[in-house]
Amino acid sequence: MLKRLYPRSIRARLTTIATVVAAVVFAVASALVLINVPDNLYGAVDGRVDLAVRRVAGETRVGRLPQALDVPSRVQLIEAVDDRGRIMGVSPGLNGRHLPAFPIARSDVVYSAERKLTGAREETEADYLIKAMRVDTPRGPVTVYAAASLSEVNRATRLIHTVIALGVPLVIVLVGVLTWLAVGAALRPVSRIRSELAVITGQDLSRRVSVPTTDDEISQLAATTNDTLDRLERSAETQRRFVADASHELRSPISALRTQLEVANAYPDETDWRATGARTLASAERLASIIDELLMLARLDAGAVPDRRAVDLCRLAEEQARRREGGRVPVVLHPCGPALVHGSSVQLDRLLTNLLDNATRHATSRIDLEVAVEGDAVVVTVTDDGGGIASEDRERVFERFTRLPDARRMDKDGSGLGLPLSREIAVAHGGSLVVAEHEPGARLVARLPLYRP
């Protein structure tokens, strides 16, 4: 039930919270005002009347009471009466009337009462605070009465009640309206961004949301949204290009394999099945190699984390050099010590395989392989003495399916995925792979974080 009553929109929630907080604050403040202000006003009148009674009683006690009593500020009526009802002193405002008497038990004690009177300034009866005090005088006991009107206190109290009864709800409503308008104005750019995002589809990621000039959180949100759309557009374009290039690269070995099988099937008596089997096996191996590289790239793109452990790159390099003994180009492994990296041994071995395969295709007489620990990094360097890589192509070679003219000429069966996959593996392990400046030939340098158990 509470969940259904709770507002769904941020605007309604903030307005509700602001209104409830304002209502609580004004309710507490109103309660404090209603409790304290009337009491303070009443206390001020009580204090003035009490002081007037005591002053006149003091004069009466020593026998200095004049017949016409001076009226203190805001104490309208004063009267001194003996036990037989004779007036010993009176203020001008009484005009021959008597203040109402009430029982007084002890002398020198001030007693209070409220009565309805018609004062000197009122035409109708009004509430008065009356105080009385009996004192003993040389002529006998005398009772002093003093009265002050409570009209101002009552008017002030009624005004406070009226202001609170009418003003507080009005202020609460005003707070709610202002909060609703202010939050609406603050969220208007968000609504515009949402509307603009709603029309952006996967087929057209070129559109961007408008960025407000307010330089606040909303403008930062819009800027971040545009940055995200930029990355999505680049990712979508890369994916489309990747799919197109993958289709093209896979079509070639599949077409070659199909052609060879169709020719062999059409002329079975004239076919050298041993040679045909060798050629189809080579095409199948190339197809399997491309698929393996594509699958590994897909896993890296998806952020898949394989089982990782401490891997000694020096040992992997030794195994690579041993496997390549007797090849077209010798691999010279420089002496190295333990170089531990925390990662996947399969992926790291694939990184070395791709770098050495690339160097083998371009090298003329020698490939140098170095593994060294430099500070907190393990540096793997593969250097060949081939034609090298032009400076403008040193980043292009890491684009998927990118093959430079020299690479196409030297190896028609390449896929253009080796170096991009190697860089993805290095980045996935927190490192990097770059083409360094070197003459003659090319030098590729991979830097990976050193693992310290």
Per-domain residue ranges for the chain? 15-155, 217-299, 307-449
pLDDT value for 4 = 57
State the DSSP string of 258-307: HHHHHHHHHSSTT--HHHHHHHHHHHHHHHHHHHHHHHHHHHHHTT----
pLDDT value for 408 = 56
pLDDT value for 412 = 54
Q: Could you tell me the CA-to-CA distances from 24 to 31, 168, 176, 179 in Å, in that order?
A: 11, 11, 13, 16
Distance CA 389, CA 103 (A): 119
What backbone torsions phi and psi does residue 157 show, to the nearest 5 degrees? Answer: -65, -45
Using an 8 Å Cβ cutoff, are 89 and 66 in contact? yes
What backbone torsions phi and psi does residue 370 show, to the nearest 5 degrees? Answer: -125, 140
Distance CA 418, CA 289 (A): 10
CA 103 vs. chain centroid, Å, equals 73
pLDDT value for 2 = 47
Assigned CATH class of 15-155 = alpha beta
pLDDT value for 268 = 79
- Digit-by-digit pLDDT tens for the chain (453 residues) are 445 566 677 888 888 899 999 999 999 999 999 889 888 988 888 888 888 888 888 888 877 777 677 767 678 788 888 888 788 888 877 776 778 888 888 888 899 888 888 765 555 678 888 899 998 887 788 888 888 888 888 889 999 999 999 989 999 999 999 999 998 888 888 888 888 888 877 667 777 888 887 777 888 888 888 888 888 877 777 777 667 766 766 676 777 778 878 877 888 777 777 777 777 787 777 777 777 767 766 666 666 667 788 999 999 999 988 988 888 888 889 998 899 999 888 888 888 988 898 888 888 888 999 999 998 999 999 999 888 888 787 888 887 766 665 655 555 555 667 788 888 888 888 899 998 888 888 899 999 999 887
State the DSSP string of 400-427: TT---HHHHHH-TT--S-HHHHHHHHHH
Q: Which of 129, 46, 163, 141 is nearest to 88 (CA)?
A: 141
Assigned CATH class of 217-299 = mainly alpha
Q: Could you tell me the CA-to-CA distances from 59 to 49, 67, 93, 132, 141 in Å, in that order?
A: 16, 12, 20, 15, 13
pLDDT value for 1 = 47
pLDDT value for 259 = 80
Q: Which of 332, 334, 330 is nearest to 370 (CA)?
A: 334
Assigned CATH class of 307-449 = alpha beta
CA 2 vs. chain centroid, Å, equals 26
pLDDT value for 414 = 56
